[in-house]
Structure formats: C-alpha cells, structure tokens
Structure 1
C-alpha cells in the first residue's frame, strides 16, 4: 500500500496550495473546528491514520466506556466553544450549522447509550478492528513495525469493547440475538489462521518497492497476528457466554430509536410514514420499467428474474476471476473520469487517480476508502469477494463502479479533501453524513444513466436492479423497525403474507425484489436489521439531492455549476446542504 508520511503538514486552510484564487484567511470558527480535529486525532489514532494526519502510530483507539465518554466530552466542549464565536462569511455559517447538527446528534446518541451497545454485522468494533488494517501504511519497514504494534493492540481494544458491552447489558441494552450470533461467527472466522484477514495481510508483506521484510520483522508480524487472532476467539467466547443469553429475539428498534438513527444518517428530519409510502410507490415504478426491459430484451412473457438469469448466463456480460474483475473495475473507472472531466465536472488532477483493488477480506461488500490528506495515498475502491466466487456480472455491477468511483464517492470524498483553501479540517476530513454521501453516490448512478452511460438494456436493468434494492430497503427497514403492517401489494408474494413486518417476511420480500446470491442477501438482511436507518439513507438521500438540484436548475444554475458548488461544501447534513445551496 501507499506510504503515508509521518510529517504531513497540519490540516489547516493555509497549509496547501489554493484550489483557485487566493487562500481564504482562517476565522475563529475555523480555529474551533481545527482544534476539534487535532483533539480527535489525539483521542483516535485510527482516525489520524485514516485521513493521513499526524498521530500516535502503532496504537488503536480506546473502546472502553471511559474512552467513549472522552469523545462525547470533546463534542460538548466544542459546542460550547462554538457559542463564543461569530461567523465571518457563508463558509463559517455552514460550518457552524453543520457542527452543531453533527455534534448534537452524536451527543444525543451517546446519552442514549448507543455507543456502548454497538454490535451488528457491518459497523461495530468486531468489523472495524478487522477492516482498518486494510488501509494502514505498509510502504516501509517502519510502517510494518507499526502494523505489528497495532496487531498486538487488538487484544486490549477487544477487552475494552467487552467492558462497554457489559455496561450496556447491565442497563438492559443488548443487541438482538441475530446480531450477536452473526458477530460470533465473524469473530470465529477472524480467529482462525486459515480464514483471518490478518493472515492474508501479513503473508503478502513487503515494502513499497517489493523488498522482503527482515526475518525478525516477519516473525514479529506472525506473532502479533496470532495474538490478534486469539483475541478474536476470546471475544467470540465472551459474546456467546455473556451477551447471547441476554439477547432478545425482536429485531425492530421502535419509532423513538429509529427516528434518532434516521436523523443521524440523513442529517435531516423526514416524515417516516410518508417516506415509507414513497418507497412503496418507487418500488412499483421500478418493477414496471424492469418488466418492460425484460420484454424488450427477450420477448413478451419473460419475467424480470428470467431476464436477469439470461443476462447472468450471457458470456459477453460475464467477468471471470478476480484479476479480470480488478482490471474491469479500473478500466470502467478510468473511462468515466476521462469522459466527465471538463463536461459535467471539473476534476482536479489528484482526483484523476483512483485505485481499484480486491480486498483481503471476504465479506461480500464493495466499498470506497478516501485519500490521505496529502493524496500520497489515493482514493481506493475495494471489492471484498466471498470465498468461492469467481464470476461477476458486468451488467449488474457497472453502476456500482460509478457509485463507488466517479462521479460517486471518489469524486465526492476526494473533492472535500482537496479544497483546503476553503474548508477547515473538520469539514474536509472529519464530517461524513451517510445520507449526503450515499445519497450522492445513488445520485451519481442515476446521473450516469441520464447522461447515456447506461443505455444498453442490460446495463439499464442493472441500474434499475440497484435502485430496486435501495427502494425495497426503505420499505423493509422502516416497516420492520417501526412495526408496520405489510402492505397489500406485497402480502400476495410467496412467504410474505399479511401481518406485521418481521425477519421472515423481510427475507421473502428481499428474495423477490433483489437479484443477489443468497450469501450476499443474507448479509444484507442482517445489516438492515442491525443497523437501523442507514440503508434507507441511500435512496432518501438521493431523493433529497435531486430535489436540491431541481431547485438550483429552476433558479437558472447550470448542472456543472451545481455539481461543483455542492461538492465544495463537503459532506454535511442534508438539511444544512439544502439551506446552504439555496443561499
């Protein structure tokens, strides 16, 4: 992986070359935001590494109740500091609104005990203490020594995490049994030498120029990896012995918690009942268009699922092997960058590099990691291929490359990292709102279809398949967690039936609506049930993005100008974004 130097300049607005014109003078509001980021990097070595800031290398974050309290105390102190400063310009006004909204939501969640009880199949310490190693610097022997130190720190981090789960359990806050059992399985996988991502990472250990590591360092890495794997075996035992007996069977979290999660992931307040009805309508519209494309591709009477099966069987639309998959991802991403730059976007030079990689884990996810602050580590798109999977459907996944790459996450995250002359470090590096980010990525998928990049009927079916998944999970997620009755147009589906949403009906509903393999789909269902409000933030975020764009175009703004003005805001809550772009 690319080296991240330890002497990166401080992430202040004056520390980089201007994007255009003169460098903006930092303000008192910026000073508060910068102090917050410096304090966060001190409290969280993982954050410092992830964004390429100076910090304590070779250490992991604190996961104890005390460490979580320290983060909340930082949020409270910062909010108090913000009350003492006045905005100087429009950028300050957005910073104030965005920080008050984000830190306020974070404090509210912490006070409700959400930070202590985190346990799910995709975004809890069980996964994060595995996946963060994918992006640790590994260019030099010193980097690998830090890597080994982090591996040796995994036992301490997991022990502290167990302390937090114990405290939450003593208050009656325990994840649903489904999530506990899934995390036990993931921990067992990570504990086994043959299946652990730690093993895969250190087996490939070399410096950036391919030089083998000294035997002493290799031995240190092997010993540290073994310690980390043992720690995962212990956390699996802990979950099974102390948490699982307390876990309940109900997956839904209820309206009050769900509303809080929705605000956290959207940065906006939406009417959950209206959004549920919108999801139903959107799903029906997508189904109708897919039926029309199926008939156009293969003739009248061919169902959507039959059409997809034929697309999957089409050799011209199939990729064989992970090497070919990586090459196809890279080619598709590079072509999109070349086509969009100068037309619908102005793409800065550092953002014209996007690395596409196969992830060392095998969870089935596809994700993006942003560049380091100085772009020595570029943005990367990762595909975590499940074991035994060696064929991939290009018709289905082309839209995913646009989602994760350009004009999706890579352009969005990279741009907010790039505009150092305008935005403080918090705006560029520390603020991420799912509805803004994932909503933009879905907006990007639809934009590429609107611009003619997905005109092939098979590719269009892939776009709609992606949109159908996102619309379906709006209905499922809100339905399950708010305890809604299943709507009549779905009750007739096999296995769904009438009654209140639950995991079984959700599974039947997903199998009818989503063209994924069963392993992918099982992972996705567990995700929706254990990570409330996050999955709907994609489609709802896209909806709010498109509404904001339409308002801008209605005022006479060009599409390109809207894109660049919006991206230069960075990731903020969608209510803050809409107000800022209307100003």
Structure 2
C-alpha cells in the first residue's frame, strides 16, 4: 500500500515581489524552507533520489519499516508543518502560495497515516521493496552501473536488505496480532515472487545482471573483485532474505491470512479507507459519491459500446460482443513481441503531426518503448518509468508481453499509448521535472488524481490526434474508459460494502471484455492499494469539466494548446489547488 507519496520539485524560484524588502525576505525564507524540506526528505528516502537520477545516496537503504525510522519520519513531517505554518500565506508570491497549499496538505496527510500502522503490511504482490529491489539490482533499472563506485554502491545497499527483510517478518507478525492482515489470495501471489528469486547458482540470479554487463573499461582487478563480491552478496545476503520471506509467507502467514477482501475488515478500516480516498483523489468526495459516479459512468460508456457493436454489424448482445472480442482470431494478429512493439511505435508516428497543434511546450527528455523484463512481466501492467531529471535516462514505456499471440488489438493499444506514453505520463512528468523554476519538492512530486487524471484525459484526445478511426481500436479506448469507471464501483464496494473478490471480478467481466486472469490481477491490485484506482477517473472528470468550463467562458479566446500548457507547466498538485490556478489563468485570458 503506497504510503509514501513521492515528493517532487526543485529550487523555489524567488518570485519578484512588489511589496518591499519584508515581502522579498519572506519569499526567500520560504524558498529556503521548501528546499530544505526536499533535501532532508531525500536523505530519509534515498530510493526516491535514485529514481530521480540523483546519485548522492545510491549506497543507502534505510530500514523504512522499523519503529525508529517511523519515529524519525513523524518528527520530520511535524517539524516542517510547524515551519510552514509560521509563514503568512497571504504575503507569499502566487507560485509560493501554490507550494504552501501543496506542502501543507501533504504534511498533514503524512502525519495522519501513522495512526493506521501500515508498516504491519510492509509489502504486497503489487508493490514494495521486495519488487523494487529486483528492478534496481537487475542492472536494467534506475540504479546506475556505469562506474566502479556504482557497483560498490549497490553492494552497500544489498548489505542492508537482510535487516529490512527481518523487520518485514517481525512487522507481519505484529499485523497478525493486531488483525491487520492481507487477504489469502494476495499472499498466494506474493510467495512465488519471493521463491522465484531463490537460486543456488549466483550466475543464474536476476541480481547477476550487472556482472553480465561489466563495462569493458574496468580494470581486471576490479572485474575480478566485483564478480566475486556479487556472487557472495547473491548467495549470502539476497537469496537468504528472499527465502526467509517466502518461507514465512507460506508456512506462517498464509494459514492466518483472511478470507475477506476489503480493508473494512481491519481495525480502523473504515477510517483508513476514507483517508486513502482523500489521499488518492485529492478531494473531499465521499466513497458513496464516488460509487454513484461510477455507476453512472459505467451506464454511459456501455451506451457508447452498443453503438460500436452496431457499427461493426455484430447482432448479438453486448456480453456476446465482449466474448467475440476476446475470441475472434483476427483480433490476435501478433506472433512475436517485436511486432507488438512495432505497433506501438506506429501509433507514435501517427499522432506526431497533431501533437504540434495541441501542445506548444514538449519535453526535452528522450523516450523509448521496451518490453517488460521477464522476472516481473507475469504480474505487471503496462507502465511508464520516468526519465531522469538530467536527461541521462530516457522515459520508458514498458509493455509486458508474456505471449505475443495472446495480445489482443482491442486491448486498447492506442488509448494505452496515449495514457502511459505520449502525451500522457511522458509529457506530464518530463515537463514537470524539466521545469527548474519549480521548487524540487514539486518538481518530483506525484499526485494520482492529477497525474493519472491527466493520462486518462489524454485517452479522450484520441480522435483529435488522428486515432480511433478503426472501430475496434475505439472499442479498445472505450474498454479502457469503462475500466476506470468500473474501478469507482468495485474499489468502493470492496472496501465499504463487503463486495467479495469474486463478486468484483464478475462485475468487471460483465462490463468489459477482459480475460479472467486480467480481472483477477486488477481486483487484487485494488485490494492491495485501496483508493489508488479511484484517482484516474476522478482526475480525468475534473480536467474535462475545467476544459468545458473555459471553452464556454472564453469562446474564441480559448486555445486548447494554451490550456494544456498551463495545466502542465506547474506540475502535479491536488485538484482543488489546480482549479484555483486554472481559474486565475482563464481570468487572464479573458482580459
């Protein structure tokens, strides 16, 4: 369950003030405070620094689930909330007021999380250090392996992994005692993720990847030393830790895992879910409001699907059409993973001419499409991994292709690309990171309602970008859209209405053409990270609402490119802060 919302942004630009020296001093002090917050935070969470391309802490791996660390972070957030609220918000520049509002909300939420003891479920089948560690140590992720120091840095991180693993076991035991326990179906997925990394031959380990790619310019002595050290680290540190975790989950935790699906089974479960809804949607909407919105959206999109069914001449029911989409061999044209990747590259070529009309500002960061690594593709979704802030690592759109012959064209390839790649996550995250006028805590921040909302909104731009001309690809886009609407229904129902895992899977399969294994993976994801799946649709609805409002308000003065540029230029923020900023922009356009 993601409880560290990645903070984002750079040096606060000192906005010129017109109110004399006191005002200037206030802004300078504020800029220093938010920069100090960001720098201190990176020391606490060095993995965030690594993912941002900041290599200062690449040798560190704090025991982030220990009581000592939790006490330290609580004190850190409390201290900065006190420093922040000492400023008079009204005396700050417009950009600093945005920073103030974002940071105040963030600090208050972070402090609130400690009451729920989320350290009692230190990882799940969907996220956690157990999975991130494999990505970093494979040599193909964010952890750099270019210099001898890089290789030594990773060895130091490895040396701390066993301590983290021991604490994870201890914390899971505390969770068992307190009634904060994962559902059985999730634990069954977690066990093979541990055991698959247990090897007897270190050269067969995922973590041997960096040795297989040792730079040619390393001296022979370093090559020999590092090869031996990595073999030892794999056999004496990494493998025993994954084995211990796998054995514990299988022998001790699984028999006591719960059969219920929602967090309402936990002590304080109802309060936790409301907290997660506020965190992920960045709104004060109630779970029930969101549930009702979901039901309405599912009904609306089903109406659109009926139109496509009629357009392609299918005469059966919508359910029968879903079955046809899943079983018609013509909709499975691929034989090799490279053909799937080529199809995604063709989508990029098709939209490029129209992107120029809809965006004035585009990222400098490079972009690549890659197949997801074998070790994690079985449980992975297509995803975007951001470029490093300095541009040394490209933004990467990862596509899991366990079997190319089972890749269906109506899986929404066009809408998926718009969402995960361009202009979705790649444009939004890259432009945010590249904006060095933003304070760092904002440059590198992430809010799902903004970021995922933007990506889902980008799916709705398909026709304007020259896509969705094939009714089956448009059906794929509708599949993706209804998928996000279904999330509003099942996420709330699982966690507040005792909807079971099986009922949620059936509801999903009844309303979109998704294979059962896909529905299972999705529903189990919502069980593992309550509320996160709500952020997409809630954010996209807000962006559409704002666009429609300004189109009506400004008439001929409305520019879609200017709207997009303004939306993206200041980076991720909660939706209420966003609306205030966009209203101010619209007022300026109207003058």
Give the corresponding residue for 2:360: 346
Give the corresponding residue for 1:308: 325
User: What is the DSSP-based 3-state SS (H/G/I as helix, E as strand, rest coil) of the residue aligned with 1:447?
Assistant: coil
Pairing partner for 2:67 from 65, 68, 85: 65
Structure-1 separation of matches of 2:200 and 2:458: 40
Give the corresponding residue for 1:77: 79
Structure-1 separation of matches of 2:350 and 2:159: 42
Between 135-144 and 278-287, the greater mean CA deviation after superposition: 135-144
Q: Is this contact kept in 1: 2:194–2:245, CA < 8 A?
A: yes
Structure-2 separation of matches of 1:141 and 1:230: 26
The CA deviation string for residues 31-70 of structure 1, in whole angstroms up to 9 with x for no partner, is 2221111111111221111112242222323222222332
Offset of 1:307 from its aligned partner? Answer: 4.0
Change (3 A) 1:146 1:561: same
The CA deviation string for residues 276-324 of structure 1, in whole angstroms up to 9 with x for no partner, is 12211211222222222123224323632244136x5227x63332233
Instruction: Using structure 1 for the length normalisation, give the TM-score.
Output: 0.85
Pairing partner for 2:248 from 238, 241, 261: 238
The structure with the greater share of residues assigned to helix is 2
Pairs within 5 Å for 1:448-459: 448-459=462-473
Give the corresponding residue for 1:136: 143
Structure 1 alignment gaps of length 5 or more: 1-9, 16-23, 484-499
Between 118-127 and 69-78, the greater mean CA deviation after superposition: 118-127
User: What is the DSSP-based 3-state SS (H/G/I as helix, E as strand, rest coil) of the residue aligned with 1:532?
Assistant: coil
Change (3 A) 1:92 1:456: same
Q: Is this contact kept in 2: 1:436–1:572, CA < 8 A?
A: yes
Size of the aligned set, in residue pairs, is 543
Pairs within 5 Å for 1:62-461: 62-63=63-64, 64-87=66-89, 88-133=92-137, 134-192=141-199, 198-199=206-207, 201-202=209-210, 204-207=212-215, 214-226=223-235, 227-254=237-264, 255-301=270-316, 303-309=320-326, 313-314=329-330, 318-333=333-348, 335-336=350-351, 338-348=352-362, 350-351=364-365, 353-360=366-373, 361-362=376-377, 363-386=379-402, 388=403, 390-396=405-411, 397-421=413-437, 423-429=438-444, 431-461=445-475
Structure-1 separation of matches of 2:339 and 2:200: 27
User: What is the DSSP-based 3-state SS (H/G/I as helix, E as strand, rest coil) of the residue aligned with 1:71?
Assistant: helix
Structure-2 separation of matches of 1:230 and 1:458: 49
Structure-2 separation of matches of 1:185 and 1:570: 38
Structure-1 separation of matches of 2:355 and 2:464: 16
User: What is the DSSP-based 3-state SS (H/G/I as helix, E as strand, rest coil) of the residue aligned with 1:382?
Assistant: strand
The CA deviation string for residues 343-382 of structure 1, in whole angstroms up to 9 with x for no partner, is 111244513x211122222223211111222111121111
User: What is the DSSP-based 3-state SS (H/G/I as helix, E as strand, rest coil) of the residue aligned with 2:436?
Assistant: coil
Offset of 1:464 from its aligned partner? Answer: 0.6
The CA deviation string for residues 237-285 of structure 1, in whole angstroms up to 9 with x for no partner, is 2233443344322221233221111111111111321221221121122
Q: CA RMSD in A?
A: 3.0
Structure-2 separation of matches of 1:253 and 1:435: 21
The CA deviation string for residues 206-246 of structure 1, in whole angstroms up to 9 with x for no partner, is 44999999344234333323331321110122233443344
Offset of 1:183 from its aligned partner? Answer: 1.8
Structure 2 alignment gaps of length 5 or more: 1-8, 15-23, 265-269, 585-591
Change (3 A) 1:564 1:106: same
Change (3 A) 1:440 1:11: closer
Change (3 A) 1:231 1:442: same
Change (3 A) 1:426 1:146: same
Structure-2 separation of matches of 1:332 and 1:370: 20
Between 356-365 and 38-47, the greater mean CA deviation after superposition: 356-365
Structure-1 separation of matches of 2:75 and 2:120: 15
Instruction: Using structure 2 for the length normalisation, give the TM-score.
Output: 0.84
Q: Is this contact kept in 2: 1:46–1:61, CA < 8 A?
A: no
